[in-house]
């Protein structure tokens, strides 16, 4: 059990105890400080200080008996990780398709958390008193790409604040059935749980409705492929860049489907498999067959940029397009 000690100065006079402690120790959030006070882990000049609201007095020495982190419930697993950036506070990884972020029914093992617990063994001082990585944002099990994870409580709190304020640059690549019109634009429509299917999300069409959460996706077509029908000039498929202003569940998948360009392979929001296209020949058949057999949403978190919440340095990480999406692009370009 380690000890943290701080002596209050005149400038600290009257500050709430839990706030004072969180300000003195960077790895201690206010909620964690409050919990430690209530648990009887804090003393003031040797006497128990168990009221988180108690005012701090100058000259008083406050000591915290920090309990060891509680072992995490998920078990560490030796799963290789594609690490894009790592320091003592953060780790950014390129998550593969098929890997869930958190253990959950149907995916109790083989998750990113299991892999991180092994990779960061001995480096996690505890978030909320639990030895675990701090997951601040997620991407779907079958979406690939960059994910940032906190290793310390200070980084966890800082990352959470950045995401809440939308001070994160997130770029995605998606391959769509057809292409939106116009090819560059913004979808600004709230997203809520579907009333028809509770497993799905849906846009809220009534702008006056208070249901749903504000969601904004900026998109542009980087490439278009083939022709939907002879003479129409409409693309059969497109490679899209999507930049998130907000981060709602299934946001890109829902927004792109709403504007008529669902992601190829999306089992939830694409009504048909593959693409509809006009053409013939071996390359055409190969491309349309590959699109039809694509077995996950063609979505990749390509880059993530933000100011490091602890060191203040600019962090930017990119993940190359996964092999299955790269192969699909090659086939579509030859169509």
Q: Mind spelling out the 3-state secondary structure of 302-324?
A: EEEEEECCCCCCEEEEECCCCHH
- Strands 216-225, 184-188: pairing kind: antiparallel
Catalytically active residues, by annotation: 140
Q: Report the 10 Å Cβ neighbour count for 110.
A: 13
The C-alpha atoms of residue 144 and residue 273 are separated, in whole angstroms, by 20
19 class by beta-carbon count within 10 Å (0-12 exposed, 13-18 middle, 19+ buried): middle
> Which residue, 217, 220, 124, is CA-closest to 181?
220
Residue 124 tokens, joined: 């996690």
Q: What SS3 class is residue 219?
A: strand
CB 236 within 8 A of CB 290: no
CB 234 within 8 A of CB 215: no
Q: What SS3 class is residue 55?
A: strand
- Strands 201-203, 42-44: pairing kind: unpaired
Contacts of 41-47 with C-beta under 8 Å, sequence gap 24+, read: 41/65, 41/66, 41/67, 42/17
> Which residue, 225, 237, 219, is CA-closest to 273?
237
The C-alpha atoms of residue 188 and residue 170 are separated, in whole angstroms, by 16
The C-alpha atoms of residue 3 and residue 40 are separated, in whole angstroms, by 13
């Amino acid at each position: 059990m380690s000890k943290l000690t701080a002596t209050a100065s005149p400038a600290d006079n009257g500050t709430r105890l839990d706030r004072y402690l969180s300000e003195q120790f960077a790895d201690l959030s206010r909620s964690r400080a409050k919990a430690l006070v209530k648990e009887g882990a804090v003393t003031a000049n040797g006497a128990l200080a168990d009221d988180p609201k108690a005012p701090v007095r100058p000259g008083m020495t406050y000591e915290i008996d920090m309990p060891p982190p509680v072992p995490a419930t998920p078990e560490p697993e030796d799963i290789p990780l594609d690490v894009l950036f790592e320091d003592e506070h953060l780790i950014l990884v390129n998550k593969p398709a098929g890997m869930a972020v958190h253990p959950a029914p149907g995916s109790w093992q083989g998750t990113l958390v299991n892999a991180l617990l092994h990779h960061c063994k001995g480096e996690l001082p505890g978030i909320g008193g639990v030895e675990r990585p701090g997951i601040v944002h997620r991407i779907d099990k079958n979406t690939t790409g960059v994910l940032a994870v906190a290793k310390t409580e200070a980084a966890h709190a800082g990352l959470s604040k950045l995401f809440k304020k939308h001070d994160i640059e997130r770029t995605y690549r998606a391959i769509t059935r057809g292409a939106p019109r116009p090819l560059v634009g913004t979808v600004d429509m709230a997203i809520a749980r579907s009333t028809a299917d509770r497993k799905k999300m849906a846009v809220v069409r009534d702008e006056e409705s208070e249901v749903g959460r504000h969601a904004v996706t900026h998109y542009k077509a980087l490439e278009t492929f083939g022709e939907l029908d002879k003479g129409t000039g409409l693309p059969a498929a497109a490679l899209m860049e999507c930049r998130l202003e907000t981060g709602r569940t299934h946001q890109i998948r829902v927004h792109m489907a709403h504007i008529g360009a669902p992601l190829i392979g999306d089992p939830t929001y694409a009504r048909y498999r593959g693409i509809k296209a006009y053409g013939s020949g071996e390359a055409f058949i190969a491309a349309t067959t590959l699109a039809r057999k694509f077995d996950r949403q063609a979505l990749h978190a390509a880059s993530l940029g933000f100011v490091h919440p602890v060191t203040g340095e600019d962090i930017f990480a990119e993940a190359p397009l996964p092999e299955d999406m790269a192969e699909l692009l090659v086939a579509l370009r030859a169509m």
